[in-house]
Amino acid sequence: MSENDVAGERPESLVFRVGYALAPKKVQSFIQPSLVNHARERGIDLVPIDLHKPLVEQGPFDCVIHKMYGEDWRKQLADFSIQNPNAAIIDPLDAVLRLHNRVSMLEVFNDLKISSESEEDLAIPKQVSVPDSSVSLSGALAREGLMFPVMAKPLIADGSADSHHMFLVFNEEGLNGLKPPIVLQEFVNHGGVLFKVYVAGRHVQCVKRPSLPNISDDNFPASHNLLPFSQISNLTAQDKNSASFAKLMDDETEMPPLSFLTKVASELRHGLKLHLFNFDMIRDTRVGNLYLVIDINYFPGYAKMPSYESMLTEFFLDIAHMRKSDELPFQAWGIGSNDHKPA
């Protein structure tokens, strides 16, 4: 990237300029040379946004992608949107923040209408939120009809280290080791396989990942009350690293139908008003065609996905095309209000 590019001069060969506002760690993982070069070959210029300077003083940008938070950033996006009404902002901050709460992130499923030519069904696990220590954990479980074992997750899912401290709870004694605010979620045996479904606009790709093993009295003795996910991973690491487990992941675990995943992704995209996210999905081993969405993440680690460069470049090209034809959904413009959509 040349000095003139950063200064705002647009080379004639580039047709769409995307500014990215990301934390340094995210830049390192996402803005790979392979992505920059591939996008550039297709007429997409990826330009870093200086987080130490006002956004309105930078550019020009046809599109801004970001994973930043806080009131100062909200104001910067609002000011930029007012001065640049034709620039697409991906995504509206209020919609992103909805995914920072493990209750509100799944509430979207109350309004989804998933229909498929196949026989796949979609649901979310039973769960209950416990906001503070004044609420009895065992009482909350009883009200929702949840049975042990259950998963305990922090209510806040903002990407911080604390938001990843999760546990499997096997009995009431295990509940004593938990500290609200938390979400208690039913544990569903799913064959130790997690489906991570990446979404970038209309583009959808699914990959398989090792997950928690099926729970039974044989592999988790009654002496366990509460186990952190990290400890469970250590207990099963030998199995996960074995050739037989790799074969199970690669050959025996059937991927969900792409038509089903595309429909779910489309419904979520419109329900959440987001373009860049992934959702974690498991298959209930008791009901072979029932899939459960257990988590949704904004702007995930796309670089972990095979050929992510092509998927993201095609997404940027879609935004460029829709921007020129004024077809972009309102939620991608400005801060999430129809007032910010260009006339």
Is 38 among the annotated ligand-binding positions?
no
Label residue 70 left, alpha or beta by phi (over 0 means left) and psi (-120 to 50 means alpha): left
Is 202 among the annotated ligand-binding positions?
no
Is 330 among the annotated ligand-binding positions?
no
Is 8 among the annotated ligand-binding positions?
no
Assess contact for 22 and 68: CB atoms under 8 A. Answer: yes
Is 183 among the annotated ligand-binding positions?
no
Is 208 among the annotated ligand-binding positions?
no
Residues 59-79 as b or e (16 or more Cβ within 10 Å = b) = bebbbbbbbbeeeeeeebbbe
Is 328 among the annotated ligand-binding positions?
no
Is 251 among the annotated ligand-binding positions?
no
Is 277 among the annotated ligand-binding positions?
no
Is 219 among the annotated ligand-binding positions?
no
Is 247 among the annotated ligand-binding positions?
no
DSSP 164: G
Q: Is the dihedral of CA 28, 29, 33, 38 positive or negative?
A: negative
Is 187 among the annotated ligand-binding positions?
yes
Whole-number Å distance between alpha carbons of 182 and 145? 17
Helix axes 308-325, 33-41, angle to 10 degrees: 40
Residues 141-159 as b or e (16 or more Cβ within 10 Å = b) = beebebebbbbbbbbebeb
Is 96 among the annotated ligand-binding positions?
no
Of 155, 159, 160, the residue nearest 178 (C-alpha):
155
Is 301 among the annotated ligand-binding positions?
yes
Is 148 among the annotated ligand-binding positions?
no
Is 94 among the annotated ligand-binding positions?
no
**What is the dihedral angle through the alpha carbons of 52, 56, 59, 63, rounded to the nearest 10 degrees?**
100
Q: CA separation (Å) from 109 to 112, 211, 265, 340?
A: 5, 23, 12, 27
Partners of 228 in the β-ladder: 167
Q: Does 91 sit behind a cis peptide bond, omega within 30 degrees of 0 on the bond before it? A: yes
Is 61 among the annotated ligand-binding positions?
no
Coarse DSSP helix, strand, coil percentages of the chain, rounded to the nearest 5 percent: 40, 20, 40
Max Cα-Cα span within the chain: 68
Is 211 among the annotated ligand-binding positions?
yes
Whole-number Å distance between alpha carbons of 210 and 213? 9
Residue numbers in the known binding site for Mg(2+) are: 280, 295, 297
Which amino acids are annotated as binding site, given as ranges? 26, 67, 102, 153, 164, 185-196, 211, 280, 295, 297, 301
Binding site members for ATP:
102, 153, 185-196, 211
- Numbered residues of the known binding site for 1D-myo-inositol 1,3,4-trisphosphate: 26, 67, 164, 196, 297, 301
